[in-house]
Amino acid sequence: MDILDQIDKNKLPKHVAVIMDGNGRWAKNKGSQRIQGHKQGALSAQNVVEAAVQAGIQYLTLYAFSTENWNRPKIEIDALMTLLVNSIHNELTKLVDKNIRLHTIGNNTQLPAKVRNEVSKAIEATKNNTGLNLIIALSYSSRWEITNAVHQILYEYKANPFDIDSFSQEKFASYLNTANFPDPELLIRTSGELRISNFLLWQLSYTELYFSDKLWPDFDKTDFYNALHYYTQRERRFGKTSEQLNKK
């Protein structure tokens, strides 16, 4: 029996976030250049997107490029940007056919014009799709996102002061890049690293964490389904006791 058939569909998360880590180490282990690891990683991303569609996941966020990644060698950044443009261009027809809607989060002003243009075209072409919401984090970091939200709030307060005491967590969240998406219930990180690397710090407050020792290019559909199965076995208490949850 396929592992997907063993998963309780009623307990699946609505939103899964993924830190796709290990491309460089995968390439090094193969004696290849780092860009070959990124190319193989792009194929793994495609497989995971397909797996999310097959499982009926509503939101999938992939951490593709962080603000810290701009500190990498220029030759690697240029190759990554080219790979990104080509991947979006080549996958657009599949996104439309599979009813996937594309979104991005992050500081897109830092992205090259060719990337912004390709992303904008794909977002426009898929805006009426009603299936999986695929969210790509590009030039993203959570500290940048939170700081950016604070800037917006301060500018608004300066222009039109409001009641500070009535400002809520929900109101703050409305200034984040993810304002239109539910918080992730499950975070997957590959390559054996046990950290969240400045990713969705606000949104991950009650997220279940799943760490895989596999390098991202080796992560496949079965691995994704194993993570989903792990999630369905968790008890989501949100500060309550098991007795409170099970009380009739």
Mean pLDDT for the chain? 95
Clarify whether 180 is annotated catalytic: no
pLDDT at 48: 98
Confidence tier at 243 by pLDDT (50, 70, 90): low
pLDDT at residue 64 tops 70: yes
Residue 185: name the closest of 225, 232, 145 by CA: 232
Q: How confident is the model at residue 2 (pLDDT cuts 50, 70, 90)?
A: confident
Which residues 6+ apart lie within 8 Å of 129 measured at CB?
95, 96, 99, 100, 101
Instruction: Answer yes or no: is pLDDT of 167 > 70.
Output: yes
Give the C-alpha separation, 169 to 228, whole Å.
28
Furthest CA-CA distance within the chain? 61
* C-alpha pair distances (Å), 13 with each of 124, 141, 152, 157, 207: 27, 23, 31, 36, 10
Distances (CA, A) of 26 to 49, 77, 162, 179, 186: 21, 18, 52, 35, 24
H or E segment at 185?
Answer: none
Q: Is 109's pLDDT higher than 90?
A: yes
Given a cut of 60, is residue 147 above it in pLDDT? yes
Task: State the catalytic residue, choosing from 10, 23, 69, 226.
Answer: 69
- Quick check: 49 and 135 in contact, CB under 8 A? no
Residue 1 has pLDDT above 60, yes or no: no
**Would you say residue 241 has pLDDT above 70?**
no
Percent of the chain with pLDDT over 70: 94
What's the pLDDT band for 248 if we cut at 50, 70, 90? low
Catalytic-residue membership of 78: no
Q: How far apart are the first and last CA of the chain?
A: 34
pLDDT at residue 180 greater than cutoff 90: yes
Catalytic residue among 2, 5, 8, 21: 21
Predicted pLDDT at 68: 95
Helix (H, G, I), strand (E, B) or coil at 139: strand
pLDDT band at 4 (very low <50, low <70, confident <90, very high): confident
For domain 11-141+183-233, give the CATH superfamily: Decaprenyl diphosphate synthase-like (3.40.1180.10)
Residue among 70, 68, 83 at smallest CA distance from 33: 83
The CA-based angle 172-189-203, given to 5 degrees, is 10
Q: How confident is the model at residue 3 (pLDDT cuts 50, 70, 90)?
A: confident
pTM of the model: 0.94
Q: Under DSSP, is residue 150 helix (H, G, I), strand (E, B) or coil? A: helix
Instruction: Please state the rounded mean pLDDT for residues 115-129.
Output: 97
